[in-house]
A and B are shown apart, each in its own frame.
Chain A
Amino acid sequence: MTETEAPDEGPFAAVPGVTGVVEAHHETTIVVEPGLLVDASLHLRDELGFNFLSDITAVDYLGWGEAGVSGYLGTPSSSYLPGRDLNAPMTQGYQALPQPKPKRFAMNYHLLKLARFPERIRLQTWVDEDEAVPSVIEVWPTADWHEREAWDMLGVRIEGHPNLRRILMEDDWEGHPLRKDYPIGGEPVRFSGEE
């Protein structure tokens, strides 16, 4: 996934800031630089017709591939044989580690071409904790709440959002619950124990 190169041809070669096009699991992922995200979005919307923003998903990859996380190879999609070849190497897991990721957070924009011949792609950009993602609210107004959710749940800073406040958690909440380093079951209970 990290070893992607900007495509020389194809429909997505002209997208500003594109650093790779990945085909996996029957889906197309276009990786762009975070700095040029708005330009890439405008290009995708106006030139290629992706007028509908379905969803924005932020993912935290902290600890990805560490401490015995195992791989598993499923049936290749070209084979229509039912079931799995259990004798093939690596089918029992534990032999392969997942591909490393370039940065901690991935922002996935799931786009749809709402037209007679629909098409779906994933626009992806990578940022570290101290970096910010530009807001695409001007391109697709529906991004408003999705971006607030990404900030609230994972603490991905959105630059240029007019109303970047918490949305699901309460305003004075500390931390971002969907981060991988957020403690589970760690909420203090009042009037319990020594208190």
Chain B
Amino acid sequence: MAVTPTRTRSRAPIYEGSRIPKPIPTVLTTPPDVLATGDVMTVNFGPNHPSTHGVLRLIVDLYGEDVTGLAAVIGYLHTGFEKNMEQKTWWKCVTYPERIDYVSFQNNEYVFVAAVEKLLDLKIPPKAIWMRTLMCELNRIHSHLVWLGTSALELGAISMFWYAFRERDLILDLFELVTGYRMHTRYFQIGGLAEDIPRGFYPECRSFCEWMPKAIDDYETLLTRNKIWLERTQGIGLLSADDAIALGQSGPVLRASGVDWDIRKNEPYLAYGHVDFRVPVFPEGDVYARYRVHMEEMRESVRIVEQCLARLEEMEGEPWISDDRKVVLPPREELHTSMESLIHHFKIVTEGFRVPEGEAYVTIESPRGELGCYVCSDGGPKPWRVKFRAPSFVALEATATCMRDALIADMIAIVGSLDSVMGEVDR
């Protein structure tokens, strides 16, 4: 049973003017008249509080139950990925990005690989393009499920967690079937895919696609019209379209503020220009709108996966990786018979391949929003500089704006709805 309440498309602005705090856009300061009452209490929230989605620390000024001041402190999960990648060859770097955002690993892997391919001007076989699209979409569902499970859990809907993680496990099973790993798959290589798609993947993935819409119906039955859920999420964490753009918000947060912007649609990459899907946009700009965007996106992702499957099934026997031997590892079986292949293999594994001098910036629509990767090469086998534009990092900049007039209990809902993964925030 599909539960879809009628959409109210109000054209009225969410609020008048801008709510971004001044002069520091990311710090909400308590007004002096409230401070003068002497009843403001400063509470340290985190970094190890279970409902902060990792190690986020919020310094909150409370006036009774009202949040009057807020500053986010990050950096507790900083692991120096970008510095590490400067010490590794391009080929070895591919394992790093997926650990940055450990929930949407395929998308992170893709953005780095795509940036290197842009510098190399490498042509990717169609089978790899379609399979990458499929994996990225499965990963989007996976990421949204983790978001749904944990955010609902924080607001007291404990059963949602178990339902969401039931389906998440099915997706991880599919990843394991294709790549051998459940997370951090390193399936995308520079030039294509690491391995051909294994036999048995298509029927398994098809049965998942049949099951998933019913599961989403289940979630919506539990939440979409749930009185408690509506009370906890509607009209909370408001962010207008102008403020969202000024604060660099992207992905579900931007679309929940009524901005019809999706890089998959507006600047198509991979096979997104050739598949049919809808971009859900909700104009309310509150936590509930963000929830609705996530749910609709999961449905659309299932549709994209189905279309990718149909195309991939026609591509049986086609190459899955570029045959540029200066960049791509030669097929394993050739190493025993071909001296050339052995040399190429040795050179790529030990020294690494060289990437032309220059800089490239690639952005994709990750589950969390605009994920960018800047790579700079000096023409050698190691990156000179790699930088990730993490959507979670930018999303947390909006906490101060969203937290205007919020109660302490709403804070949990708001931080959850911004969908931050701290690994990506701190990199």
Contacts and interface: CB of A to CB of B under 8 A. Distances in A.
Interface of A: 24-27, 29, 51-55, 57, 59-61, 64-65, 69-77, 80, 82-84, 86, 93, 96, 98-99, 108, 110, 112, 114, 118, 120, 122, 137, 140-142, 144-145, 153, 162-163, 166-170, 177-178, 182, 184
B374 A55 contact: yes
B80 A177 contact: yes
A59 B397 contact: no
Contacts of B376: 59
Interface of B: 20, 23-27, 74-75, 78, 80, 82-83, 87, 118-121, 123, 245-248, 259, 261, 266-267, 322-326, 354-361, 363, 370, 372, 374, 376, 378-380, 384-385, 387, 389, 393-394, 396-397, 426-427
A55 B247 contact: no
Given A65-B378, A98-B378, A168-B426, A122 B361 contact: yes
A70 B87 CA distance: 16
Contacts of B385: 57, 59-60, 178
A110 B389 contact: yes
- Interface SS of A by simple majority: loop
Given A83-B324, A141-B247, A168 B379 contact: no
Please list the 7 inter-chain residue pairs (A to B) with the smallest Cβ-Cβ separation, ordered nearest first. Answer: A142-B248, A72-B354, A141-B25, A55-B389, A71-B379, A168-B75, A162-B23
Contact of A140 (B246, B355, B426): B246
A25 B119 contact: yes
B379 A162 contact: no
B87 A184 contact: yes
B360 A142 contact: no
Contacts of B23: 162
Given A59-B384, A64-B384, A71-B354, 7 more contacts: A24-B358, A54-B248, A59-B385, A77-B121, A110-B363, A141-B20, A141-B397
B78 A55 contact: no
Given A54-B363, A99-B357, A141-B25, A168 B74 contact: yes
Contact of B24 (A61, A110, A162): A162
Contact of B357 (A52, A54, A71): A71
B354 A178 contact: no
A144 B426 CA distance: 15
Given A54-B363, A55-B389, A110-B372, A163 B118 contact: no
B356 A72 contact: yes
B107 to A, nearest CB: 16
A179 B76 CA distance: 21
A167 B75 contact: yes
Nearest to A74: B356
Contacts of A167: 74-75
A52 B379 CA distance: 31
Contacts of A178: 82-83, 385
29 contacts: A26-B118, A27-B360, A52-B245, A54-B361, A70-B354, A71-B354, A71-B356, A71-B357, A72-B356, A74-B119, A77-B121, A82-B323, A83-B326, A84-B324, A84-B326, A96-B379, A108-B359, A108-B361, A122-B359, A122-B361, A141-B397, A142-B25, A142-B394, A144-B25, A145-B393, A163-B24, A168-B426, A178-B83, A178-B385
A108 B322 CA distance: 31
A122 B356 CA distance: 19
B378 A82 contact: no
Nearest to B393: A145
Contacts of A53: 248
A110 to B, nearest CB: 5
A2 B18 CA distance: 41
Contact of A142 (B247, B356, B363): B247
Most chain B C-beta atoms within 10 Å of own C-beta, residue among A26, A64, A114: A114
B254 to A, nearest CB: 9
B378 to A, nearest CB: 5
A158 to B, nearest CB: 13
